[in-house]
Amino acid sequence: RSEIESASTQPSEAAKKVKIGIYFATWWALNVVFNIYNKKVLNAYPYPWLTSTLSLACGSLMMLISWATRIAEAPKTDLEFWKSLFPVAVAHTIGHVAATVSMSKVAVSFTHIIKSGEPAFSVLVSRFILGETFPVPVYLSLVPIIGGCALAAVTELNFNMIGFMGAMISNLAFVFRNIFSKRGMKGKSVSGMNYYACLSILSLAILTPFAIAVEGPQMWAAGWQTALSQIGPQFIWWVAAQSVFYHLYNQVSYMSLDEISPLTFSIGNTMKRISVIVSSIIIFHTPVQPINALGAAIAILGTFLYSQAKQ
């Protein structure tokens, strides 16, 4: 009987693995493309509050069109749903804009090296704010994560305080986003794709007034002319690409969150950062010193040890 059972469960297990593998590969590829176009845009047009807003606006529009044309089924939501989504959206907005501000000031690789320290923030927030304790190996794994990030930061050739702090704030905000997200999704029947769509719409509403206050239409218009004259019409395509790919990679990541545990998700996220770090160093010819690369490698190794210890 067990043979029959295993024969009938094996193909679906294998199919699930293939499906998750496809999700992961798509997620990382979309993320690499987003990071490249986002940085190309920020180099020519240093208005991270606007580019963050455009990413959310583009995603919101894509999903509203998908719902209106029934390409995707619109979720059934109530006031309770939007109320529980609100803290998630505040954290998502802060994490997103802080990471984009960071990338406008430093190399993409540097932002992502610091962002690979997110598990350390997760443990510290859980310990000191939620009072959750972990086995000793989990705490020990924080040593290479924090030490590696610190080594990479102090040896970074283009160190910039705003760039560093932006990535740190993004880490903290995304830890809260993940905690609130888990609480908010509990018992709700909204799919990962629609959950992320609603998150984009609410985040867009939160971010827009702040983006206008911090940067504003006058700066945007003047900078736009300069960027267009320097880069040419393809600048508009870069902006479109960074906006579309931002939505797509996040949508795929939330879709995969439906299928996998948060732990597998965080391992996937760290592996994603390796592909972003390596590809952005190659594409933007980022100068890297051996000691700097060593710091990044130690931090990433620490994240793997963390995931092992948490298991």
Contact 70, 76 (CB under 8 A): no
Contact 280, 42 (CB under 8 A): no
Q: How many CB atoms lie within 10 A of CB 161?
A: 9
User: Cβ closer to ligand 3PG: 96 or 105?
Assistant: 96
State yes or no: residue 247 binds ligand 3PG (CB under 6 A). no
Region of 16-24, 92-100, 187-195, 294-302 interacting with ligand 3PG (CB under 6 A)? 92-100
State yes or no: residue 96 binds ligand 3PG (CB under 6 A). yes
Q: How far apart are CA 129 and CA 150, in angstroms?
A: 23
Region of 61-69, 73-81, 93-101, 295-303 interacting with ligand 3PG (CB under 6 A)? 93-101
Residues with Cβ < 8 Å from 51, sequence gap 6 or more? 38, 41, 42, 45, 100, 239, 242, 243
Q: How far is the CB of 72 from ligand 3PG (least distance, A)?
A: 22
Q: Which of 99, 101, 197, 244 binds ligand 3PG (CB under 6 A)?
A: 99
Region of 7-15, 95-103, 154-162, 283-291 interacting with ligand 3PG (CB under 6 A)? 95-103
Tell me the per-residue interface mask from 155 to 174 with ligand 3PG, x by CB under 6 A, - otherwise.
-------------------x
User: Cβ closer to ligand 3PG: 121 or 174?
Assistant: 174
Place of tokens 């190659």: 282
Question: Measured in whole angstroms, how far is the alpha carbon of residue 6 from the centre of its chain?
Answer: 37
Residues 107-126 that bind ligand 3PG (CB under 6 A): 115
User: Cβ closer to ligand 3PG: 77 or 307?
Assistant: 307
Q: Which of 100, 109, 280, 286 binds ligand 3PG (CB under 6 A)?
A: 100
Please report, as a single letter, which amino acid is at residue 266: S
Residues with Cβ < 8 Å from 131, sequence gap 6 or more? none
Closest CA to 252 of 3, 11, 4, 24: 24
By rule CB under 6 A, what count of residues binds ligand 3PG?
5
- What's the full length of the chain, in residues? 311
Q: Which chain residues interact with ligand 3PG by CB under 6 A?
A: 96, 99-100, 115, 174
